[in-house]
Structure 1
Amino acid sequence: MKTDKLFYRIFLNQPSLISELIPEIPEGCQFDYNAPVVKEKEFRLDGLLTPLGGDENVPLVFLEAQMQNDIEFYSRYFGGIFVYIHQYKVKRNWRGLLILNNRNQELGCEIPYQNLLNNQVQRLFLSDLLGKENLSPNLAILKLIVTPENQAVSEAQKILENTQTQEEFNLRLDLVEAILVNKFPKLTIEEIQKMINLREADITQTRFYQQVLEIGRTEGRTEGRTEGRTEGTQWGEANMVIRQLNRRCGNISDTLQAKVRSLSIPQLESLGEALLDFQDIGDLENWLINHTSD
């Protein structure tokens, strides 16, 4: 599944997760998230969390999620960090945060980086969360990503039941639905909502549901050139990108939202990567001009 954008979304919606995973970061600390390209070697850092505010004791956080084997992962990860530190003349401390699938992943030789891995970088192996109960809501959301399909629905329901406010519920529902869409790509949004089977919750008030409903009405007025399952995948991808754009550039207009929703899945994936470098609405408009045709 497209884990990069999924983890980006989780950390935007649940900012307290950072301080929970790296205890030395103060609770409630806010970060700006981007994915800078390091010049010369053309390393791309998946996520750089830059503290907002004047406290120089709060470190930069180099965040990366890796779910598959990659024997060059560690060399590329640390290479990108140090090229970035050199290029941007970084003068503050930094920490690494790696979200990994399991302890048996082939990620390359650890020996050259052992001291950094032991002292500078926090590694979270999602498989370690399986079988654990009474996890915090943040960790329960991460656990859902690797939960077996036959247990995913019950775990999702537990996450949603353990909420105190409607706003908190809406945020968790949005993430839970996004994870289940990736876990069950052959199911439509409606089928996933039936799986969750929330009797007390008014899911029609969530942003995710309302966006899907609006897109469904629009699609209903166009020619049905693809099957519902393919449309559901495109809808979910478009919703995720729009949500990221709203956080990155401010609320985008209905006209721009419509243009984003008209993109193909490969175009949406490309936009999802590019938007991490956007500074304002103008960057989005330029991207659409350069990557779409009349």
Structure 2
Amino acid sequence: MYYQIFKRFPGLIFELVDYRPEQAQNYRFESVEVKETAFRIDGVFLPPAGATPRIILFAEVQFQKDEALYHRFFTESLMYLYRNQSEYDDWYCVVIFPSRSLLPSDTRTHRIFLNSNQVQCIYLDELSTSNQQPIGINLMQLTIASDEVVADKAKQLIQRVQLESTKSLPKNEVIDIITTIAVYKFSSLSREEVEAMLGLTLDQTRFYQEAKAEGREEREVEMLKVTVPLLLQTGMSVEQIAQQLSVDVKSVRLAAQENT
């Protein structure tokens, strides 16, 4: 979820920390693999071309207790810096927790980082929830809202987005994220119940369109698994089956291979 939020709105990270580069909205968020190690860093904000200074931000969103968090996060970040020394002038780390209760108990081992101005911990439950906060902050806080209030908060945020959406936080993109959060939090509800709760039609959102497309693809795969072997037994070629079923040849071949 947070990967999608940061991927669509990389500038949001700068609303959480005390750093406002001039090209904040032009940063790109990537999941990068550090060469020659088994580490994969899920959140790295890379500066745009021509940025001065070139500042890299490493971000970690931690929603469960993990005593090894600091060991892993700082090791991965420093390894990336070592392998890419020519790509940056400075760096920062941001760790986002829903609350302080998930902090690792060992803060002494990494005190050189935790007590420096290069590392900042954010606690979502300690941020103001008022409408005076940027929309992006309220969007992140929605992920930790209780089931009792999340519906009202989602509707209020949708109404606010309708009025205040900007180029950096376009309306449709934000509503897609709100819809995704609501659907995951209320997975037991029907589509109609979620629509009534949010006051919108899911057909209009990218999340529903993608989910519907995924469902259609799954049904097509299952259909091919049954149909392709039967048609092959009649003597039809893979190409003829693909033409008959109006699907691509690759899909027919995959279905045929699974049944051999």
Distance 2:114 2:258 in 1: 46
1:171-186 correspondence runs (5 A): 171-186=173-188
Q: Could you tell me how far 1:171 is from its partner in structure 2?
A: 1.4
Structure 2 residues not aligned, in runs of 5+? 224-246
The answer for the alignment partner of 2:90 in structure 1 is: 93
Within the candidate set 106, 113, 118, 1:116 is matched to 113
Q: Which amino acid aligns with 2:123?
A: F
Q: Secondary structure at the match of 2:171?
A: helix
Change (3 A) 1:293 1:77: farther
* Superposition TM-score, scaled by structure 1 size: 0.65
* Superposition TM-score, scaled by structure 2 size: 0.72
Change (3 A) 1:293 1:222: closer
* Alignment partner of 1:195 is 2:190: no
* Alignment partner of 1:18 is 2:13: yes
Contact 1:38-1:84 within 8 A present in 2 as well: yes
Distance 2:179 2:125 in 1: 20
Q: Deviations over 1:92-145 (max 9, x none)?
A: 200111111211214241223224223112221112137655322111101101
Q: Could you tell me how far 1:62 is from its partner in structure 2?
A: 0.5
Distance 1:218 1:166 in 2: 34
Whose radius of gyration is greater, 1 or 2? Answer: 2
Structure 1 residues not aligned, in runs of 5+? 1-5, 225-254, 260-288
* Alignment partner of 1:68 is 2:56: no
The answer for the alignment partner of 2:74 in structure 1 is: 78
Q: Deviations over 1:25-74 (max 9, x none)?
A: 32552123222222455222121111112123141011111100011100
Distance 2:64 2:29 in 1: 23
The answer for the alignment partner of 2:55 in structure 1 is: 59
Aligned length: 223
Q: Secondary structure at the match of 1:124?
A: strand
Q: Could you tell me how far 1:217 is from its partner in structure 2?
A: 6.4
Most deviating of 77-86 and 212-221: 212-221
1:1-294 correspondence runs (5 A): 6-26=1-21, 28-29=23-24, 30-90=26-86, 91-118=88-115, 119-129=117-127, 132=130, 134-163=132-161, 164=163, 168-198=170-200, 204-214=203-213
Percentage of pairs with the same residue:
28
